[in-house]
Amino acid sequence: MPNLVWKMVNFLSFILEKNTESPEQLIECLKQLNIIKLLNLDSEQVHDALIDMLKQLLAHQPTSGVILEMCVTLLDHCLTKTQHLDDTLTFWVFTMRVTALDNP
């Protein structure tokens, strides 16, 4: 159910944001999160929750390969299916700014 997935993603984001001692271990757990399966629910709530989660994760860990891979997966899925284009393009710009080499 999209509503439950939205709550799960928000809860996961909260845990990742609050865990300052070992964020690498939690980010490794994200490898088990099947983002494609969540995106295939075709739910705007889930899509928005995933974008919010990835924005928070990028802000805390902009060099994480796992997070960047999830961002690419989300962008590829949404741009290929032309779903949620406005939010997806905004997320793409955000991702490019956060991961830019000249970003302080």
Q: What is the pLDDT of residue 83?
A: 67
Domain boundaries, the chain: 30-99
Reduced DSSP (H G I as helix, E B as strand, rest coil) percent helix, strand, coil of the chain, to 5: 75, 0, 25
What is the number of helices (H) and of strands (E) in the chain?
Answer: 6, 0
> In degrees, to the nearest 5, what angle opens at C-alpha 86 toward C-alphas 80 and 87?
90
Residue 68 and residue 58: Cα distance in Å, rounded? 8
Computed on alpha carbons and rounded to an integer, the radius of gyration of the chain in Å comes to 13
Q: What is the pLDDT of residue 1?
A: 67
For the chain (104 residues), the mean pLDDT of every run of 10, in chain order, is 73 69 67 79 82 83 82 87 78 84 65
Q: What is the pTM of this model?
A: 0.73
